[in-house]
Amino acid sequence: MNLINGLPAHVLLVHVVVVLVPLTALALVASALWPPAARRLGVLLPLLALVSLVSVPLTTHAGEWLEAHVESNALVRRHTELGDGLLPWALGLFVLAAVVWWAGRRAGAASAGAVEGDGAGIATRWAASPVRVVVAVLSLAVAAGAVVDVYRIGDSGAKAAWHDSFSKTASHSGDGD
């Protein structure tokens, strides 16, 4: 998939990445820090992370096609280099989203089963466990890294696309003045 309705697919797919990766990062952090958010989002959290993860290589592949069809320069090469680094962040978001979702399900099921046994104890242990703290810290770190990387990639892409493509002064004063 290199062209969509005659336009390079990369310039369209990049919008999916720019929206979904930060949205996934926000949902992950909220769910990791606030368990009711994880329960409320449910399976939507790992599904959102999966769609984000899949969108990255699709966008990168379309970008490689576009790179071969534009004039190469240092800005395009820099954008390509940065773009190749997003996949590990997206993978980290997905793995952590799956862990947060799974742990939230287990804790929720344990709380619901408290009448039958030690379910409340399991839920309490997860909520206070060092593992949960580690998952929360990793979620914050990976989410921040992913969002910063998306910003850096987008900034470099905008510079590559728009450098020398417009005048800094208006070409006309405007008809409505």
The per-residue pLDDT for range 33-83, each reduced to its tens digit, is 998 899 899 999 999 999 999 999 999 999 999 999 988 899 999 999 999
CA distance 32 to 100: 6
From residue 82, alpha-carbon distances to 57, 78, 151, 156 in Å are 13, 6, 10, 8
Instruction: Give dist(CA 38, CA 83) in Å, integer.
Output: 30
> How high is the pLDDT of residue 130?
83
H-run or E-run covering 147: helix 130-162
pTM over 0.75: yes
CB-CB contact of 119 with 110 (8 Å): yes
pLDDT category of residue 132 using cuts at 50, 70 and 90: confident
